[in-house]
C-alpha cells in the first residue's frame, strides 16, 4: 500500500503518521519528492483501513499495491484450478461443463427435465429446493423433499447436482444428504456467515455474483469461503443491475476474462438470470462460451408457462437441444484454437 501525502504536510505530522503505521506492525519507506511525500507501507496491510488513512488531513491519496484476496488470486496460484464436482465431472482448467435444469424443483417433472438435459449433453443438473424469492408470498421451494428428488435424478443419470443453500443452518443438511455442489445465490453473495459456513465444508460451491456486486466483491466473497479451508469455489457471472430495463439484468461478460486474469478459479456464466428472457438465452450462452467461460448454467423447463419460478427465461428441452448443439460448435472452435 502506498500513501501519497500533501506537499504541505509538516515534519511533525508526517512523523506522527509514520509512528501510527509502525505501531500496527508495518514497515514504512518514506521518499520525499519535490511535490509530494510518498510513504510505502510494507507488511500485513489488512491491519490498515485505507479509507481511514485517506481521510487523514495530510494524506492526499492511498493506493493498494496488492489485492486483498490472496487464496483466490492467480498471482499466488498461477495454474488454473479444476474443481471436482463428483460423478467424474471436473470444471475449470480446460474442463467445460453445462449445468441445466429448472429454476425450482417442483415435483415429478424434475426427472423428466433431467433426462432431457442429460440426453442433450448437460453434465450437471440444477434445481432450487430452497428458493430466494423477492416476495414472501411467492413459491418458496420444496425444501428437503426437493433435495431428495434431485438426488434421485442424480443417481439415475450419474450426474452431479447443483442446488442453492440459503441458510447457514441448512448447510449440514446439504452435506449429510451428499449434495454435490452448493450454490450461493446472488442475494447471498455477501451473507458472510453463510459463506463461512460453506467454507467449513469441502463441498464445491458455485458462488454467484451479487446483483450490485463488483468483481472485487465477488472475489472477496470467494476469499471468505477459501479462508475457512474450502478451496472448491466456482465463480459465476449472472448479470448485474444497471439502468437498462430491456433485460432482467445486464450480462457483464467482461467479468469472464477479468476473473480469469485475476483468479485461478473456474468461471461459469448464467445467461438465464443475466437476460431474463428465453429469446436471449441462446445467443448470450454462445457469447459466454466464446468469452472463455468454463461452464454455463441454463434454466430448462418442460412447460415454461406453468413453471413456479422464472418461466420467462426457461428454455424448453427442444430449445435446449439446439442450444447445446451450437455450444458444441463454439467449443470446438475454442478447443482447436488451444491446440
Name the residues that contact Mn ion, by CB under 5 A: 103, 310
Residue 208 binds: one of Mn ion, ligand PEP, none (C-beta under 5 to 8 A by kind): ligand PEP
Site for ligand PEP in 149-178 (CB under 6 A): none
CB of 272 to Mn ion, least distance (A): 7
Cα distance between residue 289 and residue 334, in whole Å: 9
Nearest residue to Mn ion, using CB?
Answer: 103
The 1-30 contact track toward ligand PEP, x by CB under 6 A, reads ------------------------------
CB of 300 to Mn ion, least distance (A): 11
CB of 311 to ligand PEP, least distance (A): 12
Residue with cell 468461471: 267
Residue 238 binds: one of Mn ion, ligand PEP, none (C-beta under 5 to 8 A by kind): ligand PEP
Site for ligand PEP in 201-230 (CB under 6 A): 208
Q: Which among 57-65, 153-161, 171-179, 185-193 is the span making contact with ligand PEP, rule CB under 6 A?
A: 185-193
Burial 53-63, CB ≥16 within 10 A → b, else e: beebebbbebe
Helix segments in the chain, DSSP class H = 11-22, 50-55, 109-120, 144-157, 171-177, 192-199, 215-227, 255-262, 271-275, 278-290, 317-338
Contact call for residues 244 and 272 (beta carbons, < 8 A): no
Using CB under 6 A as the binding rule, whether residue 128 contacts ligand PEP is answered as yes
Can you say whether the dihedral through the CA atoms of 89, 90, 94, 98 is positive or negative?
Answer: positive
Residue 132 binds: one of ligand PEP, Mn ion, none (C-beta under 5 to 8 A by kind): ligand PEP
Phi, psi of 27 (to 5 degrees): -100, 145
216: number of Cβ within 10 Å: 12
What is the binding site for ligand PEP (CB under 6 A)? 103, 128, 132, 185-187, 208, 238, 273
Amino acid at each position: 500500500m502506498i500513501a501519497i501525502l500533501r506537499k504541505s504536510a509538516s515534519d511533525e505530522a508526517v512523523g506522527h503518521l509514520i509512528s501510527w503505521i509502525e505501531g500496527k506492525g508495518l514497515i514504512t519507506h518514506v521518499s520525499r519528492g519535490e511535490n509530494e511525500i510518498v510513504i510505502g507501507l510494507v507488511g500485513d496491510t489488512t491491519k490498515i483501513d485505507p479509507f481511514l488513512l485517506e481521510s487523514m488531513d495530510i494524506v492526499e491519496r492511498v493506493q493498494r499495491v496488492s489485492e486483498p484476496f490472496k487464496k483466490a488470486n492467480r498471482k499466488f496460484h498461477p495454474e488454473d484450478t479444476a474443481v471436482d464436482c463428483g460423478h467424474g465431472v471436473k470444471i475449470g482448467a480446460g474442463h467445460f461443463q453445462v449445468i441445466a435444469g429448472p429454476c425450482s424443483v417442483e415435483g415429478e417433472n424434475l426427472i423428466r427435465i433431467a433426462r432431457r438435459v442429460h440426453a442433450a449433453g448437460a453434465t450437471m443438473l440444477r434445481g432450487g429446493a430452497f428458493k430466494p424469492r423477492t416476495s414472501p408470498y411467492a413459491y418458496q421451494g420444496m425444501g428437503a423433499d426437493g433435495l431428495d428428488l434431485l438426488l434421485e435424478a442424480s443417481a439415475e443419470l450419474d450426474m452431479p447436482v447443483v442446488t442453492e443453500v440459503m441458510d447457514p443452518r441448512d448447510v449440514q443438511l446439504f452435506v449429510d444428504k451428499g449434495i454435490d455442489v452448493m450454490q450461493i445465490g446472488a442475494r447471498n453473495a455477501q451473507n458472510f456467515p453463510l459463506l463461512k459456513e460453506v467454507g467449513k465444508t469441502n463441498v464445491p460451491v458455485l458462488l454467484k455474483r451479487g446483483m450490485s456486486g463488483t468483481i472485487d466483491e465477488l472475489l472477496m466473497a470467494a476469499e471468505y469461503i477459501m479462508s475457512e479451508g474450502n478451496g472448491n469455489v466456482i465463480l459465476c457471472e449472472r448479470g448485474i443491475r444497471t439502468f437498462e430495463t430491456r433485460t432482467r439484468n445486464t450480462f457483464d461478460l467482461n467479468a469472464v476474462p477479468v476473473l480469469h486474469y485475476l483468479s485461478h478459479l473456474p468461471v461459469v456464466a448464467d445467461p438465464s438470470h443475466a437476460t431474463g428472457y428465453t429469446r436471449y438465452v441462446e445467443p448470450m450462452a454462445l457469447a459466454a462460451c466464446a468469452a472463455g467461460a468454463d461452464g454455463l448454467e441454463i434454466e430448462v423447463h418442460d412447460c415454461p408457462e406453468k413453471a413456479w419460478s422464472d418461466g420467462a427465461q426457461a428454455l424448453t428441452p427442444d430449445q435446449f437441444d439446439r442450444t447445446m448443439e451450437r455450444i458444441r460448435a463454439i467449443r470446438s472452435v475454442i478447443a482447436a484454437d488451444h491446440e
